[in-house]
């Protein structure tokens, strides 16, 4: 069986679709680097840093990864991050992610990090940012993966805390490209962070926010109109509001969708019911990402192959998702063109 692709994109047989998904170059724009901490690394760092953890073994910890909603995950995610103390720990965590990303043909990654999770435990902002930034530089040099950092504010904390965090990060302004908003969504609407996002905008930082993961379409409107974000993280609840869908399509506001995360956090009852296809077919700039791969059962290529197998998305959608990920990234147009050319070469090599 074959699928017809738009324009000059070659036709690819459906049997070869999983291999094509794995081989095609892609950008990852929604990865919490603390969510890439594998259980084995949590235990190794706990031992190295003499930190007590609640679980007796790696298997014991993995058994706790049975989530019912976002909050049930976040409680375990913050506990896992407590093993990170020194600059080298942040480096090692990010380096392990980049090795996996390179294996999945991720050519570019924009990494979220949660400094408040660490500074609240007495870890310095310097240790967090310098460790992550050094790993980004080495990923480019040794793996050919370009990477940048996006500092996220925890929305369950106050805006004053977020403002203090931004001030603390300013000496490292050249080491991160933007700010985001994450953690517990329900009850913490984006407008709570209007002032800190205004400050970040005035500093020339890129702006993104989680919205519409569990929360209502109103939170997506607020992220767009009050925070003035350039991308929406998740955003899958947008389908409940036709006006919002039109706005997202018209302004080409990307959605960084995370299918395996949505499955594990019970946003959708099963992957077959995921609305990624509907978002793409409505003309939205939707992308596939892994969110917290160590907790949700898969990195980029698992997200692609499992979602396509469950929903019946086609090679045409694959091409769209890869080009969307380049379009949505915060890099120069010339670099995006290089990646699109690489994508075309891979599609050509899979042509029937």
Question: Could you give the string, one character per residue 60-79, with x where binding to ligand ADE holds by CB under 6 A and - elsewhere?
Answer: ----------x------x--
Q: Which residue bears the tokens 């499955």?
A: 263
For ligand ADE, the binding residue among 117, 119, 146, 261 (CB under 6 A) is 261
Burial class (CB in 10 A: 0-12, 13-18, 19+), 231: buried
- Residue pair 181/152 in contact by the 8 Å Cβ criterion: yes
Q: Between residues 92 and 182, which has the closer beta carbon with respect to ligand ADE?
A: 182
Which of ligand ADE, Zn ion, none sits in contact with 26, Cβ below 5 to 8 A by type?
Answer: none
Query: Quick one: tokens of 49?
Result: 């840093």
**Per CB under 6 A, does 183 bind ligand ADE?**
yes
How many residues does the structure list for the chain? 352
Q: Minimal distance in Å, beta carbon 266 to ligand ADE? A: 12
Distance CA 117, CA 77 (A): 10
DSSP characters over 210-275: EESSSS-HHHHHHHHHTS--SEEEE-GGGGG-HHHHHHHHHTT--EEE-HHHHHHTTSSSSGGG--
CA neighbours closer than 13 Å in the CB half-sphere of residue 206: 21
35 binding ligand ADE? (CB under 6 A)? yes
State yes or no: is 159 an active-site residue: no
- The smaller minimum CB distance to ligand ADE, of residues 104 and 214, is found at 214
User: Which of ligand ADE, Zn ion, none binds 213 (CB below 5-8 Å, type-dependent)?
Assistant: ligand ADE
Q: Does 292 bind ligand ADE (CB under 6 A)?
A: yes
Looking at 291, 294, 321, 324, which residue binds ligand ADE (CB under 6 A)? Answer: 291
- Identity of the residue, 77 or 193, whose beta carbon is nearer to ligand ADE in the bound complex: 77
Question: Among 12, 20, 24, 32, which residue interacts with ligand ADE (rule: CB under 6 A)?
Answer: 32
Strands 2-3 and 12-13: antiparallel
Q: State in angstroms the smallest separation of the CB of 184 from ligand ADE.
A: 7
User: Residue 75 Cβ, how far from ligand ADE at the closest point, in Å?
Assistant: 11
Verify binding: residue 210, ligand ADE, rule CB under 6 A: yes
Give the shortest CB-336-to-ligand ADE separation in angstroms: 26
Q: How far is the CB of 296 from ligand ADE (least distance, A)?
A: 9
Nearer to ligand ADE, 89 or 292 (CB): 292
| Active-site residue identified among 59, 213, 230, 302 | 213
35 binds, among Zn ion, ligand ADE, none (CB under 5 to 8 A by kind): ligand ADE
Residue nearest to ligand ADE (CB): 182
Q: Which residues contact 141 (CB under 8 A, 6 or more apart)?
A: none
What is the footprint of ligand ADE within residues 149-178 (CB under 6 A)? none
Kindly state whether residue 182 participates in binding ligand ADE, applying the rule CB under 6 A.
yes
Measure the CA–CA gap between 103 and 209, rounded to whole angstroms.
Answer: 28
Are 228 and 207 within 8 A, CB to CB?
yes
Beta-carbon contacts of 273 under 8 Å, excluding residues fewer than 6 positions away, are none
Dmax over CA atoms of the chain, in Å, equals: 58
Query: Which is nearer to Zn ion, 276 or 315 (by Cβ)?
Result: 276
60 vs 65: CA distance, rounded Å: 9
How many chain residues interact with ligand ADE (CB under 6 A)? Answer: 11
Distance CA 1, CA 41 (A): 43
Contact 124, 151 (CB under 8 A): no
The neighbouring-strand residues paired with 233 are 210, 256
Q: Which residues bind Zn ion (CB under 5 A)?
A: 291
Contact set for ligand ADE, span 306-325 (CB under 6 A): none
Q: Which is nearer to ligand ADE, 36 or 168 (CB)?
A: 36
Binding site for ligand ADE (CB under 6 A): 32, 35, 70, 77, 182-183, 210, 213, 261, 291-292
Q: Catalytic residue positions?
A: 213
């Amino acid at each position: 069986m074959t699928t017809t692709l738009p324009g000059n994109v070659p036709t690819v047989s459906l049997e070869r679709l999983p291999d094509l998904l794995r081989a095609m170059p892609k950008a990852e724009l929604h990865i919490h680097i603390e969510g890439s901490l594998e259980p084995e690394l949590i235990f190794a760092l706990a031992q190295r840093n003499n930190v007590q953890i609640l679980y007796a073994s790696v298997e014991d910890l993995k058994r706790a990864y049975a989530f019912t909603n976002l909050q049930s995950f976040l409680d375990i995610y913050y506990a896992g991050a407590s093993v990170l103390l020194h600059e080298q720990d942040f480096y090692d965590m990010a380096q392990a992610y980049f090795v996996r990303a390179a294996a999945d043909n991720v050519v570019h990654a924009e990494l979220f990090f949660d400094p408040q999770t660490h500074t609240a435990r007495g870890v310095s902002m310097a240790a967090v940012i310098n460790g992550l930034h050094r790993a980004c530089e080495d990923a480019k040099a040794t793996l050919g993966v370009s990477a940048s950092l996006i500092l996220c504010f925890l929305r369950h904390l106050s805006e004053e805390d977020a403002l203090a965090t931004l001030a603390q990060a300013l000496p490292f302004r050249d080491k991160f490209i933007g700010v985001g908003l994450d953690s517990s969504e329900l009850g913490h609407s984006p407008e709570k962070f209007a002032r800190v996002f205004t400050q970040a905008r005035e500093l020339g930082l890129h702006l993104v926010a989680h919205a519409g993961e569990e929360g209502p379409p109103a939170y997506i409107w607020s992220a767009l109109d009050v925070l003035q974000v350039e991308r929406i993280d998740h955003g899958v609840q947008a389908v409940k509001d036709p006006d919002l869908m039109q706005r997202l399509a018209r302004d080409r506001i990307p959605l960084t969708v995370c299918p395996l995360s949505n499955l594990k956090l019970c946003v959708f009852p099963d992957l077959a019911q995921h609305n990624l296809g509907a978002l793409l077919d409505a003309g939205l700039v939707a992308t596939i990402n892994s969110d917290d791969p160590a907790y949700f059962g898969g990195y980029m290529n698992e997200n692609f192959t499992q979602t396509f197998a469950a929903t019946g998305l086609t090679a045409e959608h694959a091409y769209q998702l890869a080009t969307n990920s380049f379009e949505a990234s915060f890099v120069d147009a010339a670099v995006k063109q290089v990646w699109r050319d690489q994508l075309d070469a891979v599609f050509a090599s899979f042509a029937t």
